[in-house]
């Protein structure tokens, strides 16, 4: 993005003109070298945070305790961090204190991997003391310095290492992988939330299967504080389908992952919350799994020959779960059947026919809650002159199903007529 680039250079220029050093650093330099899209540009400077705040008109002290100030430019913002080194780790996670330094090389030295330890100045010259560029060309992940020490300082780096290895389709150098295997128990010191963030970047990234395979081979997750479930041999095909799911359909990816681990719908939400996923992600994932379980159950009892019976069950299920859940399940089922050839040829004809029908039924359902009906409860009470009671809820639920099935139209006049008839019958 040339505009981001230009505004970033403006920040650098201002720092330089005031006698400080300033460089682009980290992920953005790496991504540029790899020809990947750059989503944000971090800046490292010799100016201390107070000086940065002084120098720029609009700033936010986002991480002032570790030297980071966010500088707001016209359209983009930039994290500007004072050169620093980190000392006294002690507990295998973030450093206890930071110490500012005045040399970019020393700042690069605290970074995790060689490809993340490259700086670029305003003219495009690279400062690359650890040969990160060469490692990018070789396609390898290598720690800055001695891998065992770097993982010992901050155990999250092991998860980051797997994330970068998977997402870039790189391979770890031997010394890095060996240190990771030796140091993996230290992951137990890291907060679940930070581990989950890395797991998300792996599962929602472009090579989720590579990442999951690396996680499995490393045994890293055996050292986290929450229960870990191993992929089930039987459901491996669900895991493999993840790559066909668009990255933005994250709930569908998670649903395949958890079912591939053979977790039942009832357990999904609890497990995902233990993994610090938000309630909404946990819920929407578990709904897909629950929907799948319920529909499989129905399919095992009612054959496609009994089409009308199957349709009734579908509509009831869709009304129960809501249209978006059903839509996500259909999207997922389409991927499973069409893209990953989950089926042997004897069953594929029937299953594809079932998919076609369910898509059609899905479209046909126009109401999913009593609020979608053409009359409200108070209108029914008004026209019938009766007192509210359980009868009203039951009547409306009955209407909801009848309208959803297409048995009666969703029309005010008609429903109110029916209400009067029902009340007269009941009042006899």
| Binding segment toward Mg ion, per CB under 5 A, in 21-29, 173-181, 328-336, 370-378 | 21-29
| CA 216 – CA 224 distance, rounded (Å) | 13
Which partner from the list ligand ATP, Mg ion, none does 210 bind, CB cut-off 5 to 8 Å by kind? none
Residue-by-residue DSSP string for 97-127 = EEEE-S-HHHHHHTSSBGGGS-EE-TTS-EE
Exactly one of 156, 373, 392, 403 binds ligand ATP (CB under 6 A); which one? 156
Partnered with residue 113 across adjacent β-strands are 143
Q: Are 194 and 222 in contact (CB under 8 A)?
A: no
DSSP string for 137-197: HHTEE-BSS-HHHHHHH-THHHHHHHHHHHHTT-EE-HHHHHHHHHHGGGGGGS-HHHHHH
Site for ligand ATP in 25-54 (CB under 6 A): 26-27, 42
Binds Mg ion (CB under 5 A): choice among 5, 14, 18, 27 = 27
CA distances from 373 to 321, 379, 404 (A): 17, 11, 10
Backbone φ and ψ for 231, nearest 5 degrees, come out as -60, 140
Answer for which of 32, 128, 154, 287 binds ligand ATP (CB under 6 A) is 154
Q: Residue 116 or 313: which CB sits closer to ligand ATP?
A: 116
**Spatial separation of the C-alpha atoms in residues 314 and 333, rounded to whole Å:** 14
Whole-number Å distance between alpha carbons of 222 and 228 = 7
Indicate the residue whose CB is closest to Mg ion.
27
Q: Of 118 and 392, which CB lies nearer to Mg ion in the complex structure?
A: 118
CA 382 – CA 420 distance, rounded (Å): 11
Nearer to Mg ion, 27 or 406 (CB): 27
Query: What gap in Å lies between CA 239 and CA 255, rounded to an integer?
Result: 9
How far is residue 257's CA from residue 212's CA, in Å, rounded to a whole number? 10
Residue whose token pair is 């081979």:
217
Which of Mg ion, ligand ATP, none has residue 292 at its interface (CB below 5 to 8 Å by kind)? none
Among 32, 112, 198, 251, binds ligand ATP (CB under 6 A): 112
Beta carbon of residue 372, minimum distance to Mg ion (angstroms, whole number): 44
d(CA 70, CA 257): 36
Span of 49-57, 68-76, 154-162, 320-328 interacting with ligand ATP by CB under 6 A: 154-162
Count of residues engaged in binding Mg ion, rule: CB under 5 A:
1
The 3-state secondary structure of 327-389 reads HHHHHHHHHHHHHCCCCCHHHHHHHHHHHHHHHHHHHHCCCCCHHHCCCCHHHHHHHHCCCCC
Size of the site for ligand ATP (CB under 6 A): 10
Instruction: Give, as ranges, the residues between 223 and 282 that touch ligand ATP (CB under 6 A).
Output: none
Q: Which is nearer to Mg ion, 84 or 368 (CB)?
A: 84
Q: Taking the mean position of all CA atoms in its chain, how far away is CA 333?
A: 20
CB 228 to ligand ATP: min, Å: 22
Find the shortest distance in angstroms from Cβ 255 to ligand ATP.
24
Residue 156 beta carbon to ligand ATP: minimum distance, rounded to whole angstroms: 5
Q: Pick the closer one to Mg ion by CB: 25 or 268.
A: 25
CB of 201 or CB of 207, closer to Mg ion: 201
Alpha-carbon distance 52 to 57, whole Å? 10
Query: Is residue 157 part of the contact set for ligand ATP (CB under 6 A)?
Result: yes
| Rounded CA Rg of the chain | 29
Q: Work out what residue 195 binds among Mg ion, ligand ATP, none; the CB cut-off runs from 5 to 8 Å by kind.
A: none
By CB under 5 A, tell whether 70 contacts Mg ion. no
Answer for which of 84, 111, 120, 253 binds ligand ATP (CB under 6 A) is 111
79 makes contact, choosing from Mg ion, ligand ATP, none, with CB < 5 to 8 Å by partner type, with none
Q: Select from 22-30, 215-223, 256-264, 332-340 the region that touches Mg ion (CB under 5 A).
A: 22-30
Instruction: Name the residue number minimizing CB distance to ligand ATP.
Output: 27
Strand pairing category for 119-120 and 171-172: unpaired
| Minimum CB distance to ligand ATP, residue 272 (Å) | 22
* Residues 24, 8: Cα–Cα separation, whole Å: 8
Our finding on whether 68 is near ligand ATP (CB under 6 A) is: no
Report, in Å, the least distance between residue 50 CB and ligand ATP. Answer: 22
The torsion angles phi and psi of 25, rounded to 5 degrees, stand at -155, 155
Q: Which residues contact 61 (CB under 8 A, 6 or more apart)?
A: 49, 53, 69, 70
Span interacting with ligand ATP, options 111-119, 202-210, 303-311, 369-377, rule CB under 6 A: 111-119
Residues making contact with ligand ATP (CB under 6 A): 26-27, 42, 111-112, 116-117, 154, 156-157
Residues making contact with Mg ion (CB under 5 A): 27
């Amino acid at each position: 993005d040339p505009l981001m680039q230009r505004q970033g250079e403006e920040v650098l220029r201002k720092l330089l003109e005031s006698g400080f050093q300033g460089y682009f650093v980290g992920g953005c330099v790496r991504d540029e070298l790899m020809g990947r899209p750059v989503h944000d540009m971090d800046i490292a400077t010799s100016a201390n945070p107070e000086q940065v705040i002084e120098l720029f008109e609009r700033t936010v002290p986002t991480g002032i305790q570790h030297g980071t100030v966010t500088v707001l430019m016209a359209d983009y913002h930039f994290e500007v961090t004072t050169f620093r080194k980190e000392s006294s780790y002690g507990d295998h996670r973030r450093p206890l204190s930071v110490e500012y330094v005045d040399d970019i090389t020393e700042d690069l030295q605290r970074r995790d991997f060689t490809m993340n330890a490259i700086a670029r100045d305003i003219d495009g010259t690279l400062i690359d003391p650890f040969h990160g560029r060469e490692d990018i060309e070789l396609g390898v992940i290598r720690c800055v310095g001695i891998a065992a020490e770097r993982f010992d300082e901050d155990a999250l780096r092991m998860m980051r290492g797997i994330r970068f290895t998977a997402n870039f389709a790189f391979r770890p150098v031997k010394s890095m992988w060996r240190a990771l295997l030796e140091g993996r128990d230290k992951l137990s010191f890291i907060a679940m939330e930070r581990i989950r963030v890395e797991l998300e970047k792996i599962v929602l990234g472009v090579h989720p299967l590579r990442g999951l395979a690396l996680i499995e081979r490393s045994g890293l997750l055996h050292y986290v504080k929450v229960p870990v479930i191993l992929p089930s041999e039987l459901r491996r095909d669900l895991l493999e389908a993840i790559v066909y799911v668009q990255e933005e359909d994250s709930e569908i990816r998670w649903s395949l992952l958890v079912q591939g681990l053979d977790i039942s719908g009832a357990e999904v939400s609890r497990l995902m919350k233990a993994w610090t996923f938000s309630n909404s992600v946990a819920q929407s994932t578990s709904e897909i799994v629950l929907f799948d379980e319920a529909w499989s159950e129905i399919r095992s009892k009612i054959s496609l020959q009994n089409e009308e019976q199957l349709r009734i069950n579908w509509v009831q299920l869709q009304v129960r779960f809501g249209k978006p859940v059903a839509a996500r399940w259909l999207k997922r089922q389409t991927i499973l059947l069409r893209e990953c050839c989950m089926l042997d040829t004897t069953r594929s004809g029937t299953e594809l026919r079932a998919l076609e029908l369910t898509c059609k039924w899905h479209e046909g359902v126009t109401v999913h809650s009593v609020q979608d009906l053409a009359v409200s409860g108070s209108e029914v009470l008004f026209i019938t002159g009766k007192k509210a009671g359980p009868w009203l809820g039951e009547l409306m639920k009955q209407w909801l199903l009848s309208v959803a099935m297409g048995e009666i139209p969703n029309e005010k006049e008609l429903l109110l007529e029916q209400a009067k008839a029902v009340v007269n019958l009941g009042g006899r």
